[in-house]
Amino acid sequence: MKTLGMIGGTSWHSTIDYYRYINQLVGERLNSSMVNPPLLIYSLNIELMRRNHWDEINQAYLDISLTLQNAGAEAILICANTPHKVCPFVEPKLDIPIIHIADATAEEAKRLGLSNLALFGTKQVMEGDFIKERMRNKYQIQTQTPDPETRVKVHTAIAEELTRGLFEDKTKAFFLNEMAALKTQGIDGVILGCTELPILIKPADFDLPLLDTTFLHANKAVDFILS
């Protein structure tokens, strides 16, 4: 098995899910409860992301990635959607690949025959191009986001509640209502583009396919580990 370097902590709640999924999936694929993969985990302080200083964030992710590479990691897994904004800065400076969350999500969308997806996440995810453009250019998948006022509310719910481990029924109802509003505009699925959203919202909660970026990203990491 190949050694994977994981950068977590943003938030630690979803990083736990990443760790659990990767270990469970490896065991399932190898049909054994007696194996688990070699993982190197660097859990950074989420306060780095809350400061929103991207020069500082870029450098931190580069330094951490190099630390993991030097420790023996053969690929990097960034355990959150928003920090993938650093990939164009970090990946060219590494000798190992970054397993990209947009690729994992888009590949599942293509498998399901989906091409017009709602995208919920932080403001950086919903308004930036590092997820949307990759999905559009590489996979011909279109994404729709809520209106600007709603994007602020979505971001606030993620930053002030979900990444702090608060999963409230009223917040779940808010997301489901906004998902229903985008359904009327013709979406055929929803990207849960914050790795805490799948903790809050489950497939049974909505009548369109929900793309759980945490699980899909972890599953793609297992493809690499066992390749």
Residues 76 and 114 occupy one common structural domain: no
Residues 85 and 187 occupy one common structural domain: no
Q: What is the pLDDT of residues 178-212, one digit of tens each?
A: 999 999 999 999 999 999 999 999 999 999 999 99
Nearest CA among 192, 195, 76, 81 for reference residue 130:
81
pLDDT number for residue 27: 96
Residues 110 and 80 occupy one common structural domain: no
Residues 121 and 26 occupy one common structural domain: no
Residues 180 and 208 occupy one common structural domain: yes
- Confidence band for 33, pLDDT divided at 50, 70 and 90: confident
pLDDT number for residue 29: 97
Alpha-carbon span 151 to 22, nearest angstrom:
31
List Cβ neighbours of 198 (8 Å cut-off, separation of 6 or more): 14, 17, 192, 210, 212, 213, 214, 215
Residues 44 and 67 occupy one common structural domain: yes
pLDDT number for residue 143: 97
Residues 77 and 133 occupy one common structural domain: no
Radius of gyration of the chain (CA): 17
Residues 41 and 9 occupy one common structural domain: yes
Domain that holds residue 79: 4-100+216-225
Residues 193 and 157 occupy one common structural domain: yes
Residues 78 and 132 occupy one common structural domain: no
Number of domains into which the chain is organized: 2
Q: Which residues pair with 98 in a beta bridge?
A: 76
Q: What is the pLDDT of residues 37-77, one digit of tens each?
A: 999 999 999 999 999 999 999 999 999 999 999 999 999 99
Neighbours of 116 (CB within 10 A): 15
Alpha-carbon span 143 to 135, nearest angstrom:
8
CA dihedral (161, 165, 167, 168) positive or negative = negative
CA dihedral (54, 60, 62, 68) positive or negative = negative
Residues 57 and 132 occupy one common structural domain: no
Q: Sheet containing 39-43: give its strands across.
A: 39-43, 4-8, 75-78
Backbone angles phi, psi at 150, to 5 degrees: -70, -35
- What are the CA-CA distances from residue 193 to residues 6, 23, 93, 167, 198 (Å)? 18, 22, 26, 16, 9
Contact between 197 and 177 (Cβ < 8 Å) = no
Alpha-carbon span 43 to 97, nearest angstrom:
19
Residues 96 and 22 occupy one common structural domain: yes
Q: What is the pLDDT of residues 123-161, one digit of tens each?
A: 999 999 999 999 999 999 999 999 999 999 999 999 999
Q: What is the pLDDT of residues 90-126, one digit of tens each?
A: 999 999 999 999 999 999 999 999 999 999 999 999 9
Any idea what the CATH number is for the domain that residue 86 is in?
Answer: 3.40.50.1860
